Amino acid sequence: MADPKARTHTAYTMQRIGKKLGRWLEVGSGRIDQDGVHVFIDRLPVGGFTGYVRLTPQGEPPPVPQPQRPTPAADDEDAENF
């Protein structure tokens, strides 16, 4: 029988590098069960810590970070078409 307290996920946090770029760093592990989400963080980045922690199933890589760009307003789209 599997241990009900076994950690099934890897914890990652986004470390910001500049205003728009960042990278995922492994910071611990966790599990999700009927009692809720349990995260065990054993390290943090030195700089650029956003406070956001993401759990992914063990063995899967974190998502590829995408640069954050502002969404264009409807008025800007109309101005570009002229």
Query: What's the CA gap between 42 and 7, in Å, rounded?
Result: 14
Predicted pLDDT of residue 10? 93
The mean pLDDT value for 19-30 works out to 85
Model confidence at 2: pLDDT above 60? no
Residue spans per domain, the chain: 1-62
Nearest to 14 by CA among 72, 58, 56, 60: 56
Distances 64 to 25, 37, 46, 74 between C-alpha atoms, Å: 12, 23, 21, 28
- Who's near 7: CB < 8 A, 6+ residues apart? 29, 30, 31, 40, 58
Query: What is the band of 28 on the pLDDT scale with cuts at 50, 70, 90?
Result: very high
pTM of the entire predicted model: 0.67
Query: What is the band of 79 on the pLDDT scale with cuts at 50, 70, 90?
Result: low
